[in-house]
Structure 1
């Protein structure tokens, strides 16, 4: 009998991956019209798995590079999806509400989160700045139920379009503020010595490079693909999956090599593709492949987060951490977002949706890992716990209430 039931680590990894793949295939479908989102289910599975089976200690500070690369890939796939969904990316009406969230809500949210990190959690100023930067982007991954229409279809919800457009941009715009925190940690709080260099290079030039490279590579990829397959039957034979990877990897890699922000490059490259409505069928297949890939990696990531929460649940329910997490989710983003939309043509329901559903998620984990691998910040364990708690309560609150919004959008959300 010693020949049978031999347990090897590699085989267990494959078993684990297979179970997650099954979850990723069926869970989003099961919970599609429920008051319960797929990420909540994955978190519960992870927490239960830790207490029932695993009891395996995960120290995220020892696996930051793995966390950074995994979350980076998920965000890239989600940004490409967001770009493909926006049908008129180069018209002002697409951005007139999202621009307020980006220009007003995001910076004030960063300042408020920085203050709360310093005042409530006792973070050093540079660490508080990092918390402010990493918690500022809304998440294109977890907002799936509140994203705009599929590629080629009319953007029939003002609030959904605004959330998708905001999420597509601000995952890249969090980078300059992450660098601001890194500079503060490296060079001190005498900002006059380095703020000019930060503003020129980390803010202006890198943003311009990211957007420019994204637009150029998106246009070139479109011309190459649709010139090669000028006949529809030829286009049908081009692999949607491989093309999706090209649309993600090429803009990102080129932007990063040149020195721009790759997140912005991917979103704008995908936006170039989305503007060609006559190729709706092919845009849909690109989007569908990305969505399936995204579902699989999201399942892995949130089960792991659930395990971490189970392992450190005492830290997650610490009063200070709960306070700052709920303040960010229930007060700061909703209030600042709502105020930024004053004097627009939106009704109260639309303002509520755009301001309240600033979901915190995988982008925050990426910036957390990026900041902590770039340089040492004080109280890294507390920062990890605070970030995880903020994401946990955001996923819980926004996931449970998103279905209510879905049911009321057709009634209260004006169709343009």
Structure 2
């Protein structure tokens, strides 16, 4: 047998690195090319993932075989996005910053969970615990993909109440989805007789773990800020501190410490970043941190949505299933806008601002994380249907919100300009 000395051969690991290089190139180019277009990068990645299926392979991807990988990748992307979201929020500890977001968190989120659970059970026929899980994972507004309508970068003035409300909501509700995800897990593990376990759930999964997450987040954020900026100011070393390394510390330290104590690490990371953004003195360095995280986030988003596009191409029939189509479109077009509007009824916001805050929820990387997390924590019935409806809802959310977000962004700028100039 003739040996070819390794020419024109590639090992699987090397092939993955090659793919990673192409994805990194896409992540660098696509957002710039689409900067003034009506398409968002995730839409392009979905299309590219679909094309990749037909070009590269005809092999099926079975999501249930890769839940751990999905969980860890999406978890890391969310952590990066939560730091970015926290750094964006100006005056994070003033009531005026949170007054609209609190309504979305206290009213819209529970109503969305109930509505999604009911639709999943009634139309698709999901088992009760599985339907509850669908409600919990689809309710949060994604801090990753809502970036087109997030408030301005650190140090930049932004008076848009709608964008500020979406940013604040997205920052905190990914952490608040955990208790409701655990509610579904408890129902799957302990049965539907909730009177036997609801007290335990409320005390541990809701009260204690949220308190630990917020408390450790604030404490570690304050400690990191004081440590970095007090030490570096003494001999002007601040400019030499790596924004990348500091960013990783701001993600990993609050998260791991909080997880060790049993709290919700997502909340801790967000509030640690809020503690940084509370100090205006070093806005330039906050912007550096934000920019570095945004670059990491762009790469990870490209990886995830190319993969989702591949999966949709493999299982394209889910988009033609009438029941799945009905529920996913109802969630995006009816349920989230209606529950959002209900929450904002008695506010000073005008109808356009209420529409923006109500309509632009969901999208999906957080939903993928909670899906993978719950399915690795407990046994749920009808997991294939759950994965199908979750994927379809993410697909339509990315498509509808992504295409319309640029138009709405322009309307927001025009409205805010006229509103601020007239002083009304």
TM-score range, shorter chain: over 0.9
Q: How does 1:12-51 map to 2 (within 5 A)?
A: 12-51=15-54
How far off its partner does 1:400 sit?
A: 0.2
How far off its partner does 1:406 sit?
A: 1.1
| Alignment match, 2:375 | 372
Paired residues of 1:349 and 1:412 also in contact (CA < 8 A): no
Q: How does 1:54-133 map to 2 (within 5 A)?
A: 54-133=57-136
Post-superposition, which runs of at least 4 consecutive aligned residues in structure 1 deviate over 3 A? Answer: 413-416
How far off its partner does 1:331 sit?
A: 0.2
The one of 256, 260, 265 equivalent to 1:262 is 265
* Alpha-carbon separation, structure 2, partners of 1:353 and 1:25: 28
Indicate the SS of the match to 1:108: helix
* Alpha-carbon separation, structure 2, partners of 1:279 and 1:229: 12
* Alpha-carbon separation, structure 2, partners of 1:144 and 1:32: 13
How far off its partner does 1:360 sit?
A: 2.1
Deviations 1:238-282 (A, max 9, x none): 000000000000000011100100000000000000011110110
Paired residues of 1:359 and 1:398 also in contact (CA < 8 A): no
Q: TM-score, normalised by structure 2?
A: 0.97
* Alpha-carbon separation, structure 2, partners of 1:310 and 1:232: 57
How far off its partner does 1:368 sit?
A: 0.2
Matched, 1:146 2:178: no
The one of 183, 191, 196 equivalent to 1:193 is 196
How far off its partner does 1:52 sit?
A: 2.1
**Stretches of structure 2 lacking an aligned partner (at least 5 in a row):** none
The one of 284, 287, 292 equivalent to 1:284 is 287
Indicate the SS of the match to 1:120: helix
Once structures 1 and 2 are overlaid, which stretch shifts more, 256-265 or 45-54?
Answer: 45-54
Deviations 1:226-247 (A, max 9, x none): 0110158410000000000000
The one of 299, 303, 306 equivalent to 2:306 is 303
Matched, 1:324 2:327: yes
* Alpha-carbon separation, structure 2, partners of 1:19 and 1:11: 13
| Alignment match, 2:166 | 163
Q: Say how many residue pairs are matched.
A: 416
* Alpha-carbon separation, structure 1, partners of 2:352 and 2:30: 29
* Alpha-carbon separation, structure 2, partners of 1:151 and 1:43: 30
* Alpha-carbon separation, structure 1, partners of 2:253 and 2:181: 24
Matched, 1:204 2:212: no
| Alignment match, 2:139 | 136
Paired residues of 1:138 and 1:166 also in contact (CA < 8 A): yes
Indicate the SS of the match to 1:229: helix
Q: Decide whether aligned partners of structure 1 residues 331 and 232 sit closer, same or farther in structure 2, where only a CA change above 3 A counts.
A: farther
Paired residues of 1:210 and 1:263 also in contact (CA < 8 A): yes
**Stretches of structure 1 lacking an aligned partner (at least 5 in a row):** none
| Alignment match, 1:2 | 4
Paired residues of 1:86 and 1:155 also in contact (CA < 8 A): no
How far off its partner does 1:108 sit?
A: 0.4
* Alpha-carbon separation, structure 1, partners of 2:330 and 2:299: 31
The one of 44, 52, 55 equivalent to 1:52 is 55
Indicate the SS of the match to 2:237: helix
Q: TM-score, normalised by structure 1?
A: 0.98
The one of 321, 336, 339 equivalent to 2:339 is 336
| RMSD between superposed Cα atoms in Å | 1.1
* Alpha-carbon separation, structure 1, partners of 2:320 and 2:233: 58
How far off its partner does 1:87 sit?
A: 1.2
* Alpha-carbon separation, structure 2, partners of 1:316 and 1:327: 14
Paired residues of 2:139 and 2:362 also in contact (CA < 8 A): no
Indicate the SS of the match to 2:233: coil
Indicate the SS of the match to 1:34: coil
* Alpha-carbon separation, structure 2, partners of 1:192 and 1:383: 26
* Alpha-carbon separation, structure 1, partners of 2:19 and 2:82: 27
| Alignment match, 1:384 | 387
* Alpha-carbon separation, structure 2, partners of 1:211 and 1:277: 21
Indicate the SS of the match to 2:381: coil
